[in-house]
Structure 1
Amino acid sequence: MNGLVVVDQRGDWPVQTPGIQVATAWEYLTDEAFTRARRTRVYNLCRSFSYQSTGYYVSLLAGARGHTALPEVTTIQDLKLADGPRIINDEVDELIERSLAPLGSERYTLYVYFSRSMAKRHERLARALFNLFPAPLLQVSFVYRGESWRVEGIDAIPLGEVPETHHEFLFEAAHDYFQRKRPHRPKRESARYDLAILVNDDEQEPPSNARALKLFERAAEDLGFEVEFLDKGDYGHVAEFDALFIRETTAVNHHTYRFSRRAAREGLVVVDDPVSILRAANKVFLAQLMTRHRIPQPGTMVIHRGNVSHVARELGFPCVLKQPDSQFSRGVIKVETEAELKRQTRELLERSDLIIAQRFEPTEYDWRVGVLNGEPLYACRYYMAKDHWQVVRRDAKGTKHEGIHETVDIADAPPLVVSIAVQAARAVGTGLYGVDLKQFGKVVKVIEVNDNPNIDFGVEDLVLRDSLYRKVMEYFISRLEARTRS
């Protein structure tokens, strides 16, 4: 994308940055060249964002022209709402407390310039606030009440309200921000779209290993994408892309959901989309969904404090208890006795008012069928870990032990397994899912549907190899081209 700084008067922005053009607001609003421009990132630094002012119209019309604005008009409006500070999440609350703890006063104002703060100790807090409210210039007011700091107000401030003593730092922060996106490689002229892949280099069990990520990148570039890998600190850059592919383990109360939600709101093609995360992340929802669509599953109960005593009669022992948002076999517990049931349900119900109990139906392996856009993509058998009833076993030290895996051609997988997997995935949505199933002869039952399935080099790709990665990227291309045609 081309970068464009928009100001009221050219003298408002006296610095030059390679690849960044400067224009006045009036030029941007009235010059046909800007109306026709494509793939433009607009940094709106006008002196006022009041309703229907030129600054307001710069961000508003940027959206109409298909340009990416910072701040977007929705961010400007969100910040004007009286309850804006209420959306501060727990993670940022903790940062606020740590960052402001040394202060002796009861009030503090933090200036955030292109995600940075002049005070080094507030750098992490500044970046987090910028990620929540992506605007180039922010002013955040804090007040100390009781025994904690609270956000009193957040405003996107115009350039004219930046203290003159801050200008040098502001220009430096802007320069760094402009240059940080793909600074070491020129944009390929053949690129038609921008794809962001969200990853977490520190994640112990990511949904795709490093080799798989490279193959996704190569497949995307072959199809005309410019690819950039993002981490959780890049929330403010989401709107700069055409598509977002989340390859970090998703959760609802988590930055992955916030990335997905914002990308969907900005019109990006998103995998995993926020609706899929909400649905697949909760096993109570999935159990009810499978029941409604008459998709077979093991005997299942939704457990609450009033019906724990019914479990033995309905399901028998042993049975399996599941925390609604359990992942990677964590939060999934096999109970053998009534006493164990009471103890475990008491602990699980402390975290969620509803949990799942299922009849224990052991098998040598579980099927995993990958489904993309309602069509089967790959099929694997995941065998149980040695001397264990799950695919993954963790010892007392937390070390993970896995059973072997076997990837088969979709054409060679049992047709009923594939058919029921596709039905289950389609009940959730049209994205990318991994459906886990158990097979007992001619009987097939769905265990769960995962919105963020593993696609690892050397496992799920053993049959399709490079074409697996290409098929996923073709989905993004087809969705983007369908939007262009419409």
Structure 2
Amino acid sequence: MQKLIIVENPDHWRFNLYDAEVVSPAKYISTETYQQFKGLKVINLCKSYQYQSLGYYVSLLAEARKHKVLPGISTIQDLRFPSILREDFEDFDDLIQTSFKNEKRDKVEFDIYFGITQHENLNKLARQLFQYVQAPCLSAAFSKKNKWVLQSIKPLSLGEVPIEDRSLLRLAVETYLQRKRDLKPDKKKYDLAILVDPEDQNPPSAARTRIHIGR
């Protein structure tokens, strides 16, 4: 399977990977070969995945072309609603508490590259976070009051990767590209959200309908 890494400026990409081609978004979008090639593995490392950004469009186009893209549009959408993600991560509460059981601070921030982090004791948690939020580079923060909870998780751009982490990023990219199988996303707790105003005299859906949808 051909592999592509997409960055805004390929000249700034410092890693030589023998089995992956580094291209700009413009080249990926306009080159006819990529339009016709099915099953490409695409790593989208554009600096932003915000709606209507270049990074968003690359992932949207990749999915339309049936390419295997990271991150996918569903992941990009998930990152827009961090409060829902935080609630979903309650399913991993035991792992979170175990990961920080010897931590003296009340807040910990760390970066994740394709499921790998610099902190050996947090790698199991990092893999779980990547399994759940499948974006190439992530920045996660956990804090503790009564117990440890996920405070935030957001995408990390290449320009935000510390110099001391670049060798780890290269290792993480190579490891990911060598995977024989693609990651299967964990099932999210919520696939659909319905906003309800209990005082609305003419709600858009009946209570019975909402109960049925929630089953």
Fold equivalence (TM over 0.5) = yes
Within 1, Cα distance between the matches of 2:25 and 2:56? 10
Shift of 1:89: 4.2
Shift of 1:108: 0.9
* 1:382-435 deviations in Å (ceiling 9; x for gaps): xxxxxxxxxxxxxxxxxxxxxxxxxxxxxxxxxxxxxxxxxxxxxxxxxxxxxx
| Equivalent residue, structure 1, for 2:175 | 176
* 1:316-352 deviations in Å (ceiling 9; x for gaps): xxxxxxxxxxxxxxxxxxxxxxxxxxxxxxxxxxxxx
For the Cα contact (< 8 Å) 2:60–2:72, is it kept in 1? yes
Within 1, Cα distance between the matches of 2:119 and 2:3? 27
Letter of the structure 2 residue corresponding to residue 24 of structure 1: S
1:65-84 aligned at under 5 Å gives the runs 65-83=65-83, 84=85
* 1:195-233 deviations in Å (ceiling 9; x for gaps): xxxxxxxxxxxxxxxxxxxxxxxxxxxxxxxxx6xxxxx
| Equivalent residue, structure 1, for 2:198 | none
| Equivalent residue, structure 2, for 1:86 | 87
| Equivalent residue, structure 1, for 2:200 | none
For the Cα contact (< 8 Å) 2:115–2:126, is it kept in 1? yes
Within 2, Cα distance between the matches of 1:119 and 1:171? 16
| Equivalent residue, structure 2, for 1:21 | 21
For the Cα contact (< 8 Å) 2:99–2:122, is it kept in 1? yes
Find out whether 1:136 has 2:136 as its counterpart: yes
Runs of 4+ in 1 over 4 A off after TM superposition: none
| Equivalent residue, structure 2, for 1:122 | 122
Greater C-alpha radius of gyration: 1
Q: Where does structure 2 lack aligned partners over 5 or more consecutive residues? A: 192-215
- The percent identity for this pair of structures is 33
Letter of the structure 1 residue corresponding to residue 86 of structure 2: P
Shift of 1:17: 2.1
Within 2, Cα distance between the matches of 1:12 and 1:144? 38
Shift of 1:63: 0.7
Find out whether 1:237 has 2:183 as its counterpart: yes
Within 2, Cα distance between the matches of 1:149 and 1:37? 45
1:60-459 aligned at under 5 Å gives the runs 60-83=60-83, 84-90=85-91, 92-146=92-146, 148-181=147-180, 237-238=183-184, 258=187
For the Cα contact (< 8 Å) 2:131–2:184, is it kept in 1? no
For the Cα contact (< 8 Å) 2:7–2:44, is it kept in 1? yes
Describe the shift of the 1:103–1:166 C-alpha distance in structure 2 as closer, same or farther (beyond 3 A).
same
Q: Where does structure 1 lack aligned partners over 5 or more consecutive residues? A: 182-227, 229-235, 240-254, 266-486
For the Cα contact (< 8 Å) 1:109–1:140, is it kept in 2? yes
Within 2, Cα distance between the matches of 1:26 and 1:161? 22
Letter of the structure 2 residue corresponding to residue 87 of structure 1: D
What is the count of residue pairs matched by the alignment? Answer: 189
Query: SS at 1:118's partner residue?
Result: coil
Letter of the structure 1 residue corresponding to residue 38 of structure 2: R
| Equivalent residue, structure 1, for 2:58 | 58
* 1:266-324 deviations in Å (ceiling 9; x for gaps): xxxxxxxxxxxxxxxxxxxxxxxxxxxxxxxxxxxxxxxxxxxxxxxxxxxxxxxxxxx
Query: SS at 1:15's partner residue?
Result: coil
For the Cα contact (< 8 Å) 1:5–1:20, is it kept in 2? yes
Describe the shift of the 1:94–1:11 C-alpha distance in structure 2 as closer, same or farther (beyond 3 A).
farther
Over the residues paired in the alignment, what is the CA RMSD in angstroms? Answer: 2.0
For the Cα contact (< 8 Å) 1:47–1:161, is it kept in 2? no
| Equivalent residue, structure 1, for 2:209 | none
For the Cα contact (< 8 Å) 1:111–1:139, is it kept in 2? yes
| Equivalent residue, structure 2, for 1:12 | 12
For the Cα contact (< 8 Å) 2:99–2:125, is it kept in 1? yes
Query: SS at 2:143's partner residue?
Result: strand
For the Cα contact (< 8 Å) 2:116–2:172, is it kept in 1? yes
| TM-score, normalising length: structure 1 | 0.37
Within 2, Cα distance between the matches of 1:55 and 1:128? 24
For the Cα contact (< 8 Å) 1:4–1:42, is it kept in 2? yes
* 1:342-394 deviations in Å (ceiling 9; x for gaps): xxxxxxxxxxxxxxxxxxxxxxxxxxxxxxxxxxxxxxxxxxxxxxxxxxxxx
Shift of 1:164: 2.2
Letter of the structure 2 residue corresponding to residue 109 of structure 1: E
| Equivalent residue, structure 1, for 2:195 | none
Letter of the structure 2 residue corresponding to residue 145 of structure 1: K
| TM-score, normalising length: structure 2 | 0.81
Shift of 1:238: 2.8
For the Cα contact (< 8 Å) 1:26–1:54, is it kept in 2? no
Within 1, Cα distance between the matches of 2:12 and 2:51? 21
For the Cα contact (< 8 Å) 1:62–1:68, is it kept in 2? yes
* 1:34-88 deviations in Å (ceiling 9; x for gaps): 2112110110111111221111111111111111110011101101114221111
